[in-house]
Structure 1
Amino acid sequence: MSTREAVLDVHDRPAWNQWIFLSLQHLFAMFGATILVPLLTGLQPSIALIASGLGTLSYLLVTRGQIPAYIGSSFAFIFPLIAAISFGGAAAVMLGTFTAGVVYGVTSILIKAFGVGWLMKLLPPIVVGPVIMVIGLGLASTAIDMAMNFDEDLNEYVDSMRHFSVALATLAITILASIFFKGFLSVIPVLIGLVAGYVIAYMAGIVDLSAVVAAPWFHVPDFAIPFVTVTPEWSWTVIVIMAPIALVTMAEHIGDQMVLSKIVGKNFIRRPGLHRSLLGDGVASVMASFVGGPPNTTYGENIGVLAITRVFSVYVIGGAALLAILFGFSGKIEALIASIPNAVIGGVSILLFGIIASAGIRLMIENELDMGHKRNLVIASTILVIGIGGAFIEVTEFLEIPAMALATIIGMILHAILPAKNVGYGNGQLFISLDKETNTTEVDEDGSAGTSFYNS
């Protein structure tokens, strides 16, 4: 467990000649994951970068500059975003992202008024664990299709051997970086994998740089601004898709706050309070919806950077947010990101989505859930088959409950009505008492406990 003193504490301002490099370090830690979400969903990476920067600045404002957390695109919403886009394009993404932010905001108000116990009862480990597994495994076919270059127009794989070879090489490098690299490099294996895979793809002849050469250094992204460039449209289907996933990511948010509190040595759960950090997360997603970006959430990658560097300054975090916004207005950078072949993204995604699924298993193991108990088997099995199998309910012509949302809702219902509820909590490690001044989360020197290079 880390006991070293801070190099820069929360409110320390770095020297000007160090500030930009420290901020770039945080930016690079989140860069790979944040751009991967829009690449997988068809959104603009530049808008996602700008949304993450605006979201982080708003988060710092809401939390009164007391929590050094970076906000970025959430992987938990990849499948819901793809579904939302199929329903209504940019307008649906706007509504869905806004809905996720509102759910966070309403929850923060309820926590402020009634405490956090009700949320913990609603989302026990036996529900959260399998739902996280569904988030990862539900995207498995997407990763493979990208890795093997599936052409939707032809409905077949094109030049799959070459593309899959590049994907496997990218996967291998990402794995090696995550296992064997030390220090800061151990926090950015996704970025390392993307860069190395890009070089391999270029040598394999599947990279087209013509758009990068032609792109201007400065450009204004195609923002989806409500009532300016896009007219918002109400859709219960989109709301039902997004709202349950927001509840699940709240459990991840709470875990991040616990780990962050331990690393920094301050109880952020108590001050500025969980209600403020959740509200900050919600406001960040609302800000993202105003520009057409994906829902945002706190990033485990940046928590790892804090643990390694001991640089806790919110000024460094704010600097990283400003740099993300500047990068978002660079045409060259956007074109370079867009030129990343599907094989490279698919190679990284194979590991990334698998790790998200494994995180659900890890959560159940750490909470010592008795999977031999019929109650737990029933809940977990039902969630997994409904979520991964793609079941859905068409309520009306304009309202559909898709698989992931349906699995989450049914899981919560089963937990509420089946007897022996205490079995669903295991040892309760997911929901350590939030009233204590300290928590028992252990953090290694590399920030590995409770953090990783994926974001869910």
Structure 2
Amino acid sequence: MACSVSTLMARSQERMDSLRVPVATWPMAFWTSHRGISASSWGSRLPILQGSTFGFVAPSLAMLSLPSWKCPEWTLNASQVNVSSPEFTEEWQKRIRELQGAIMVASCIQILVGFSGLIGFLMRFIGPLTIAPTISLMALPLFDSVGNDAGIHWGISFMTIFLITLFSQFLKNIPVPVPVYGGEKKCHTSKFYLFQVFPVLLALCISWFICFVLTVTNTLPSSPIDNGYLARTDTKSNVLRQAPWFRIPYPGQWGRPTISLAGVFGIIAGVVSSMVESVGDYYACARLVGAPPPPKHAINRGIGIEGLGCLLAGAWGTGNGTTSFSENVGALGITKVGSRMVIVTAGFVLLLMGVFGKIGAVFATIPTPVIGGMFLVMFGIISAVGISSLQYVDMNSSRNLFVFGFSIYCGLTIPNWVKKNPEKLQTGILQLDQVIQVLLTTDMFVGGFLGFLLDNTIPGSLEERGILVWNQVQENSKETTLKSSEVYDFPWGIGTKFCTSSYIRVLPFWPRLDHSGKGEVGMSQLAHYSQASSRKHLSGAVETRM
């Protein structure tokens, strides 16, 4: 059997299955929950969850494909390899250590770009014609993988889609009576809009349970070669058996990280793609929850905090970095719940899943077509959110039609061609080849960069480009709006009531004091569901408070 880097890592996956959930989730969960610091609490201040990024996968595979990491001869026959032997363990652990060092060094670049204010400086040149293709291309290129997941069993996928649509669109304004104890009436019932708060979770649980019933009754195919086999809930039962009950990961658990120039340059390209994705996520999340567009200091802070998350992920040896999770942004569009407390709670859940391996392993048994059905809905919303940014732009202008159309189509075409023809972009310089490969295969980077370049070079008025309306967000009445400072400033009055020294406020990531007392006005209120709002009939968008 031919041996490759991917083959060797696949073989070692059996040993890592019991460690996969803790290793992958614990560092960011620790950063989020145990220390009380997250992208939603101290970073961008938006309800965004951090997770593993695909931007690091391509440079990681490129780095591990170097001749120095060629699989040894004794691993060529998989049937004769003892995956629990110290020799084999060292083979995959030294590759993890190489990834650790590259990620930790590259994450320092992201920290510098964020906290130095460089990313915020570039935001003055970014308008709707840059944001629209960037956000849309987060989801559009994923249609192939989503279709493959959903196509494993279209019946279950459509059932999941139907349930999410039913709960989030048709039943969202129907209250469910729940028993409540307290107040003047002691025992009484109160209205709770269950379907609007938990549409995805309800659909997931129902579809998951139905798949379990179909698995127990052997209605679903039991042969791995049959179509629909992955819809069974017992296909990943080995993960549940092998996962430990309790384990605390720690930095350097695979040994001392190593550093190579080729690996660092490759991962830096992934960092650039990750930052572009995160900026798009900030704007998408702000639009979905009705917040004002994020100011520069919030963007600087968010990117810097994400860099710290990547540094921690590298130190703990996850083999990947962290970035804003686009899937979570899509979930916000469905649930209408833009609460920081929800994200903090999710951090605690990740912490439990990382420390208690059995809990995370249970979620690994969710059937693939159920995930595919959810992604069809969520990614569709993300694409629509990106396109909705064009409402500020004069789309009767041939200039704007050219910029958007060309950017988004190139963002789909060029990465697809580069993935199929990687050998045609060889310059002879390995590090440069890795950077070019990663950047040109990242759809968001290609589309966003072309939108940025064309929008800032092709002549056009600020009104035509939508910059005027983009910078002057539509003002609503004081009863339905929030000041931008109330959304993006530090909690507990830090930066506004405390630590307001002029020397500190010079920092590009520190909140700016509003001496006018008016602040920036947003589009709608951010909140979680309170008892007061649950007593009212919700019509249209739900007003929530972060």
TM-score normalised by the shorter chain: which range applies? 0.5 to 0.7
1:356 Cα deviation (Å)?
1.3
Structure 2, unpaired ranges of 5+: 1-16, 65-95, 174-192, 221-231, 474-483, 486-513, 530-539
> In structure 2, how many angstroms separate the alpha carbons of the residues matched to 1:347 and 1:302?
13
Task: Look up the match of 1:325.
Answer: 351
Q: In 2 relative to 1, CA 188–49 (structure 1 residues): closer, same or farther, beyond 3 Å?
A: farther
Task: Look up the match of 2:146.
Answer: 143
SS of structure 1 residue aligned to 2:37:
helix
Task: Report 1:27-42 matches (<5 A).
Answer: none
- Higher RCO (C-alpha 8 Å, min separation 6): 1
> 2:233 matched to 1:193?
no
Asked if the contact 2:288–2:385 (Cα under 8 Å) also holds between the matched residues in 1, the reply is no
Asked if the contact 2:291–2:526 (Cα under 8 Å) also holds between the matched residues in 1, the reply is no
> In structure 2, how many angstroms separate the alpha carbons of the residues matched to 1:106 and 1:268?
17
Cα deviation digits, residues 108-161 of structure 1 (max 9, x gap): 3226xxx94x33333211011112111111101110011123xxxxxxxxxxxx
1:323 Cα deviation (Å)?
4.2
Counterpart of 2:315, as a letter, is F
> In structure 2, how many angstroms separate the alpha carbons of the residues matched to 1:136 and 1:406?
14
Q: In 2 relative to 1, CA 294–287 (structure 1 residues): closer, same or farther, beyond 3 Å?
A: same
> In structure 2, how many angstroms separate the alpha carbons of the residues matched to 1:248 and 1:417?
23
Asked if the contact 2:284–2:329 (Cα under 8 Å) also holds between the matched residues in 1, the reply is no
Task: Look up the match of 2:62.
Answer: 87
SS of structure 1 residue aligned to 2:360:
helix
> In structure 2, how many angstroms separate the alpha carbons of the residues matched to 1:148 and 1:308?
30
Cα deviation digits, residues 334-392 of structure 1 (max 9, x gap): 22222222211111111121111111112222x2x122222222221222122222244
Task: Look up the match of 2:168.
Answer: 178
> In structure 1, how many angstroms separate the alpha carbons of the residues matched to 2:351 and 2:274?
27
1:450 Cα deviation (Å)?
11
SS of structure 2 residue aligned to 1:290:
helix
Bigger Rg, structure 1 or 2: 2
1:442 Cα deviation (Å)?
1.4
Asked if the contact 2:127–2:470 (Cα under 8 Å) also holds between the matched residues in 1, the reply is no
Q: Which moved more, 1:191-200 or 1:99-108?
A: 99-108
- Which residue of 418, 421, 425 corresponds with 2:466? 425
Asked if the contact 2:310–2:321 (Cα under 8 Å) also holds between the matched residues in 1, the reply is yes
Task: Report 1:357-396 matches (<5 A).
Answer: 357-365=383-391, 367=392, 369-389=393-413, 390-392=416-418, 394=425, 396=427
Task: Look up the match of 1:28.
Answer: none
How many percent of aligned residue pairs carry the same amino acid?
A: 18
> 2:31 matched to 1:55?
yes
Asked if the contact 1:170–1:194 (Cα under 8 Å) also holds between the matched residues in 2, the reply is yes
> In structure 1, how many angstroms separate the alpha carbons of the residues matched to 2:47 and 2:108?
16
> In structure 2, how many angstroms separate the alpha carbons of the residues matched to 1:450 and 1:414?
37
- Give me the TM-score of the superposition, normalised by structure 1: 0.67
Cα deviation digits, residues 255-282 of structure 1 (max 9, x gap): 757998969xxx9969x96644543343
Task: Look up the match of 1:439.
Answer: 521
Task: Look up the match of 2:379.
Answer: 353
1:227 Cα deviation (Å)?
7.1
Task: Report 1:35-434 matches (<5 A).
Answer: 44-57=20-33, 60=37, 72-73=49-50, 77-78=53-54, 80-88=55-63, 95=102, 99=106, 102-103=109-110, 105-110=112-117, 116=120, 118-149=121-152, 163-179=153-169, 180-181=171-172, 183=193, 185-202=195-212, 203=214, 204-205=219-220, 206-208=232-234, 210-211=237-238, 214-215=241-242, 218-220=245-247, 228=255, 231-233=258-260, 234-253=263-282, 275-291=300-316, 292=318, 293-297=320-324, 321-365=347-391, 367=392, 369-389=393-413, 390-392=416-418, 394=425, 396=427, 397=430, 398-399=433-434, 400=437, 401-403=439-441, 404=443, 405-420=445-460, 422=462, 423-429=464-470, 432=473
Counterpart of 1:109, as a letter, is S
Counterpart of 2:354, as a letter, is G
> In structure 2, how many angstroms separate the alpha carbons of the residues matched to 1:240 and 1:376?
29
> In structure 1, how many angstroms separate the alpha carbons of the residues matched to 2:522 and 2:199?
28
Asked if the contact 1:53–1:324 (Cα under 8 Å) also holds between the matched residues in 2, the reply is yes
SS of structure 2 residue aligned to 1:296:
strand
> In structure 1, how many angstroms separate the alpha carbons of the residues matched to 2:109 and 2:198?
31
> In structure 1, how many angstroms separate the alpha carbons of the residues matched to 2:164 and 2:104?
30
SS of structure 1 residue aligned to 2:205:
helix
Asked if the contact 1:63–1:276 (Cα under 8 Å) also holds between the matched residues in 2, the reply is no
> In structure 2, how many angstroms separate the alpha carbons of the residues matched to 1:450 and 1:428?
24
Asked if the contact 1:56–1:284 (Cα under 8 Å) also holds between the matched residues in 2, the reply is no
SS of structure 1 residue aligned to 2:324:
strand
Q: Which moved more, 1:130-139 or 1:216-225?
A: 216-225
Counterpart of 1:424, as a letter, is R
- Give me the TM-score of the superposition, normalised by structure 2: 0.57
Counterpart of 1:280, as a letter, is I
Asked if the contact 1:201–1:207 (Cα under 8 Å) also holds between the matched residues in 2, the reply is yes
Asked if the contact 2:525–2:543 (Cα under 8 Å) also holds between the matched residues in 1, the reply is no
1:54 Cα deviation (Å)?
2.6
SS of structure 2 residue aligned to 1:207:
coil
Asked if the contact 1:164–1:343 (Cα under 8 Å) also holds between the matched residues in 2, the reply is yes
Q: In 2 relative to 1, CA 305–46 (structure 1 residues): closer, same or farther, beyond 3 Å?
A: farther
Structure 1, unpaired ranges of 5+: 1-41, 150-162
Asked if the contact 2:31–2:38 (Cα under 8 Å) also holds between the matched residues in 1, the reply is no
Counterpart of 1:410, as a letter, is L
Cα deviation digits, residues 143-198 of structure 1 (max 9, x gap): 0011123xxxxxxxxxxxxx121111112112223222464653443333332222
Asked if the contact 2:167–2:195 (Cα under 8 Å) also holds between the matched residues in 1, the reply is yes
Cα deviation digits, residues 391-434 of structure 1 (max 9, x gap): 44836353213232233323222223211162333543367598
